[in-house]
Structure 1
Amino acid sequence: MRILVAGPVPAASDYGNGVTARRWAQLLRDLGHEVRVVRDYDGERYDLLVALHARKSEAAIRAFSADWPEAPIVVALTGTDLYPDLVAGGVDLSLLERAARIVVLQPQGLLQLPPELRSRTRVITQSMPPIDGEEPAEDRFEIAFLAHARPVKDPLRLSEAVRALPSSSRITVTHVGGVREDDIGDRLRAESIENPRYGWLGPLPRPEALAVLARSRLLVLTSLHEGGANVVTEALAAGVPIVSTRIPGSVGLLGEDYAGYFPVGDTAALAAVLDAAEHDRDGLYTRLRWQCAARRASVDPGRETEAWERLLAEAIPVNAGYKGVR
Structure 2
Amino acid sequence: MHITFVTPAVRGSRAGNRATAERWARLLRAGGHRTRIITEYDAEPTDLLVALHAWRSSESVRAYRAHHPAAPLIVALTGTDIYRFQHTDPQATAYSMHEADALIALHERAADDLSRAFHNRLHTIFQSAEPLPRRQSPVQSRFDVVVIGHLRDEKDSLRTAWAARQVPSASRLNVIQLGRAHNDHWQALAHQEARGNARFDWKGELPRWQVRRHMARARLMVISSVMEGGANVVSEACVAGLPVIASAIPGNVGLLGDDYPGTYPVADTAALREQLLRAENDPGFLQTLRAHVEARAPLFRPKTEQAALERVVNTVMGQYAGHQSTYTL
Q: TM-score range by the shorter chain?
A: over 0.9
Shift of 1:85: 6.9
Task: Report the AA paired with residue 192 of structure 1.
Answer: A
Superposed CA offset, 1:114-167 (max 9, x none) = 212211111001111211342222121111100201111111211110001111
In the TM superposition, 1:300-319 aligns within 5 A as: 300-319=301-320
SS at match of 2:109: helix
Q: Give the direction of change, closer, same or farther, for the CA distance of 1:96–1:44 in structure 2 (3 Å limit).
A: same
- Which whole-Å CA distance do the structure 2 matches of 1:227 and 1:63 have between them? 25
Superposed CA offset, 1:188-228 (max 9, x none) = 12222221111001101112112211211111011001010
SS at match of 1:189: helix
Identical counterparts, % of pairs: 40
Q: Give the direction of change, closer, same or farther, for the CA distance of 1:246–1:89 in structure 2 (3 Å limit).
A: farther
Task: Report the AA paired with residue 103 of structure 1.
Answer: I
Q: Give the direction of change, closer, same or farther, for the CA distance of 1:240–1:89 in structure 2 (3 Å limit).
A: farther
Q: In the alignment, does 2:150 pair up with 1:148?
A: yes
In the TM superposition, 1:1-326 aligns within 5 A as: 1-84=1-84, 86-88=86-88, 90=90, 91-131=92-132, 132-280=134-282, 283-320=284-321, 322-325=323-326, 326=328
- Which whole-Å CA distance do the structure 1 matches of 2:181 and 2:31 have between them? 36
- Which whole-Å CA distance do the structure 1 matches of 2:94 and 2:194 have between them? 43
- Which whole-Å CA distance do the structure 1 matches of 2:95 and 2:30 have between them? 32
- Which whole-Å CA distance do the structure 2 matches of 1:143 and 1:81 have between them? 29
SS at match of 1:107: coil
* Unaligned runs of at least 5 residues, structure 2: none
Shift of 1:29: 1.0
| Preserved contact between residue 221 and residue 242 of structure 1 (Cα < 8 Å) | yes
| Preserved contact between residue 214 and residue 235 of structure 1 (Cα < 8 Å) | no
Q: Give the direction of change, closer, same or farther, for the CA distance of 1:174–1:298 in structure 2 (3 Å limit).
A: same
- Which whole-Å CA distance do the structure 2 matches of 1:211 and 1:248 have between them? 28
Task: Report the AA paired with residue 59 of structure 1.
Answer: E
- Which whole-Å CA distance do the structure 2 matches of 1:112 and 1:7 have between them? 23
Shift of 1:230: 0.9
Shift of 1:320: 3.4
Shift of 1:92: 3.1
| Preserved contact between residue 82 and residue 89 of structure 1 (Cα < 8 Å) | no
| Preserved contact between residue 164 and residue 268 of structure 1 (Cα < 8 Å) | no
Superposed CA offset, 1:41-92 (max 9, x none) = 1220100000000000001111011111232000000000011572236453
SS at match of 1:83: helix
- Which whole-Å CA distance do the structure 1 matches of 2:83 and 2:214 have between them? 29
- Which whole-Å CA distance do the structure 1 matches of 2:287 and 2:277 have between them? 14
Shift of 1:6: 0.4
- Which whole-Å CA distance do the structure 2 matches of 1:210 and 1:269 have between them? 27
SS at match of 2:147: strand
**TM-score where L is the length of structure 2:** 0.95
